[in-house]
A and B are shown apart, each in its own frame.
Chain A
Amino acid sequence: MKRYLPFVIVSAVALITLAGGTMLYRTKGLPLLTISKDHVAPGTDGAGSIHIRGQPDAPVTLEEFGDFECPPCGKLSEPINQLEHDYHSRLRIIFRHFPFGSHQHAQEAAFASEAAGLQGRFWEMHDLLYREQAAWSTAADARLLFNAYAGMLGLKIDRFKKDMESDEVKRRVTSDQQQGAALGVTVTPTIFINNRALPPASLNAAGLRAAIAAAIKAKSPP
């Protein structure tokens, strides 16, 4: 019996490792990889693109003007993701940049998301920037972290770094800012539901849910 014991122990450890790893993988729920496809649509202003998450032809559109370094925007990020999940085919999300100059790394963060977008991973970087906001917003050199995030998302780092500096990326961010200014955006987050700005009091999970439900009801046939 003793002769076979090491085989039994080693086999048991292999099985436990495999089972444990699989369970852990499932509980992690692939937070960054299962999000909806980034539907990149032509921008109305000729700036290149807008980022749409969810069904492109959904009856309700939630359009956010956000700043990655703004804490209230960060707090709303997860509830918005949850709403997209809950309303699925009835809701589409659009994100537009509105980085404030007073936020030290906000503009670089916006560039990072657009540079990731050029490799098809805008929303992954968007979620990551919001989730790790506390880390990079206080870092002396946030760019090092953005490069690390790009690496974690499997982006081509050299291309990402180059794109961060590109005119294309800067133009996209500037275009969003100009569009926001034209719409009267002065604070972040500013959220429009079907082109109607939500009052600040509604900028929370419950308020957003109520506004979306009302918009869906308004769109439903009588």
Chain B
Amino acid sequence: MESRNRIILYTIAALISLAGLAEATYLTVLSLSGETAVCGGSASCFQVLGSGYARIAGIPIAAFGILAYFSAFSFATFAAFGYTRARKFFGLTVWAMFAVTLWLLFVQAFILHAFCRYCLFSAALVFVLAAVVVLTPSSR
């Protein structure tokens, strides 16, 4: 029974990671192509995505998101198929993402004083992934 619950939780985590992967890919492409209509005219969105915090060494931060979400997806998938070591890596990846998400939320709230809806969506996904890690007994 516990094993079945674990499979369900990791499957949910994999699906959530897929959603994050899609969003991060979308934002990376927009950033690389110079497209700005992404925000639909939202001033806050522009302030965040156009700020210096949206890039690291010239690379869009969303590109790192692709890497993170793909890693989370891969580890969750392997974990769902019973690869025990993948559970540990999944947990580590998610906590790293969680830490970065907290930092980005801090930047938006206290430095930029603006929130980007895409960033908030991504933050929500990471919080759910963290909840999966917490709820999965053997991954702790």
A pairs with B: yes
A residues at B contact (CB < 8 Å)? 2, 5-6, 9-10, 13-14, 17, 20-21, 24-25, 28-33, 124, 128, 131-132, 134-136, 139, 144-145, 147-154, 157
Provide the bound-state CA to CA distance between A14 and B31, in Å. 20
Q: What's the A-B contact tally at a CB cutoff of 8 Å? A: 94
Provide the bound-state CA to CA distance between A132 and B35, in Å. 11
Given contacts A21-B25, A24-B26, whether A10 and B47 have CB atoms under 8 Å apart is no
Contact of A6 among B21, B29, B31, B81 (CB under 8 A): B81
Cβ-defined contact, A31 with B46, below 8 A: no
Cβ-defined contact, B50 with A30, below 8 A: no
Cβ-defined contact, A14 with B33, below 8 A: no
Among B66-74, B91-99, B101-109, B122-130, the one that faces the other chain is B66-74
How many residues of chain B get a CB closer than 8 Å to chain A's CBs? 37
- List 18 interface pairs A-B (beta carbons < 8 Å), by A numbering: A6-B78, A9-B77, A10-B77, A13-B21, A24-B26, A25-B33, A28-B29, A31-B34, A128-B36, A132-B36, A132-B41, A132-B46, A148-B49, A148-B50, A149-B36, A149-B46, A151-B51, A151-B54
Cβ-defined contact, B43 with A135, below 8 A: yes
Which of B26, B39, B70, B77 has the most C-beta atoms of chain A within 10 angstroms of its own C-beta? B77
Does B138 reach chain A (CB closer than 8 Å)?
A: no
**What's the minimum C-beta distance from B109 to chain A, rounded to whole angstroms?**
16
Does B121 reach chain A (CB closer than 8 Å)?
A: no
| Closest residue on chain B to residue A23 by CB atoms | B29
**What's the minimum C-beta distance from A113 to chain B, rounded to whole angstroms?**
15
**What's the minimum C-beta distance from B66 to chain A, rounded to whole angstroms?**
7
Cβ-defined contact, A20 with B46, below 8 A: no
Q: In the A-B complex, list the 5 residue pairs whose CB atoms are closest, starting with the nearest.
A: A148-B50, A32-B34, A151-B50, A28-B33, A135-B41
**What's the minimum C-beta distance from B45 to chain A, rounded to whole angstroms?**
9
| Residues on the B chain within 8 Å of A17, using CB | 21-22, 25, 66, 70
**What's the minimum C-beta distance from A46 to chain B, rounded to whole angstroms?**
33
| Closest residue on chain B to residue A35 by CB atoms | B34
**What's the minimum C-beta distance from A63 to chain B, rounded to whole angstroms?**
26
Provide the bound-state CA to CA distance between A14 and B77, in Å. 13
Provide the bound-state CA to CA distance between A30 and B58, in Å. 18
Cβ-defined contact, B74 with A10, below 8 A: yes
Cβ-defined contact, A145 with B47, below 8 A: yes
Contact of A152 among B25, B26, B46, B81 (CB under 8 A): B46
